[in-house]
Amino acid sequence: MFTPVWHSIFVAIVSTIIAFFAMLPLSYYFAGRKSKIQLPVETIILLPLVLPPTVVGLILLSLFGKNNPFGGFIWNQFHFSFIFSLAGAIVATVIIILPIMYQGLKAAFLSIDHELVWAAETLSANRSQIFRKVILPNCWQPILAGILLSFCRAMGEFGATLMVAGYIEGKTDTIASSIYFMVQQGNVKIAVYLGLFNLLIGVIVLLIIHVLTVRQSNLMRGM
């Protein structure tokens, strides 16, 4: 029972970290200026929002399969496959949570009062100093809220993860996939326990996000 829990936590943490560092520069760049490449880039990032997770999983399965050029190259060079592994679950989960992470970070950067940035520029602060000393201190709460929401979504990912990583007990089983197969096998009791654990995490995360949102609203009103 505990293995799926640790697998889900591990996959969610790693996926959230990867998604955060992948989307941080893009969201910061597109929040601060208009670009010709913004529409196609954002379309690609946001596609998982409008596609069924199983379709995302099918695309990844086709990409990383041993019989496909990319997946075959990885297998031949490193004797490693993302299919039926936790690494595959991480890749699938990253793709699923990218839109949530991107939108959360971009909204956080857009909430910054531009007069603060202009004031820092008049004081000869460079972009790095502005980001570290002006932007982050004033929007860390919505950034953290976006990270937590992405983590919560990663904890509950099922469709794409199941397509890529499958369900191998003790190896690739997560909370979501274990609940599905436990119910299929008639072991409803364990499925309920796993569901309650996931529910508890979701409630805690949403409460933290609520507190962060309220504090950020109070801060903006105070300014």
Note down the domain range covering 216.
Answer: 2-222
Q: Are 83 and 71 in contact (CB under 8 A)?
A: yes
Rounded alpha-carbon distances, angstroms, from residue 131 to 15, 30, 115, 121, 158: 24, 14, 14, 11, 36
Q: Are 115 and 220 in contact (CB under 8 A)?
A: no
pLDDT at 132: 83
Looking at residue 195, which CATH number applies to its domain?
A: 1.10.3720.10
Confidence of residue 1 (pLDDT cuts 50, 70, 90): low
pLDDT at 133: 83
* Count of domains forming the chain: 1
User: What integer is the mean pLDDT of 27-49?
Assistant: 90
pLDDT at 112: 82
pLDDT reading at 199 higher than 90: yes
pLDDT at 176: 94
At 29, list the tokens.
């760049």
In terms of Cα–Cα distance, which of 206, 216, 198, 93 is closest to 143? 216
Mean residue pLDDT across the chain: 90
Lowest mean pLDDT among 15-19, 177-181, 210-214: 210-214
In terms of Cα–Cα distance, which of 17, 3, 21, 8 is closest to 157? 8
At 60, list the tokens.
């990844």
User: What integer is the mean pLDDT of 170-177?
Assistant: 93
Lowest mean pLDDT among 83-92, 126-135, 187-196: 126-135
Provide the b/e sequence for 29-68 (b: ≥16 CB within 10 Å): ebbbeeeeeeeeebeebeebeebebeebbbbbbeebbeee
pLDDT at 174: 95
pTM of the model: 0.90
At 205, list the tokens.
């995360």
Confidence of residue 14 (pLDDT cuts 50, 70, 90): very high
pLDDT reading at 113 higher than 80: no
Given phi > 0 = left and psi -120 to 50 = alpha, else beta, which region is 181? alpha
Question: What is the residue whose two structure tokens read 């041993």?
Answer: 66
pLDDT reading at 67 higher than 90: no
At 70, list the tokens.
């990319």
Q: What is the 3-state secondary structure (H, E, C) of 31-42?
A: HHCCCCCHHHHH
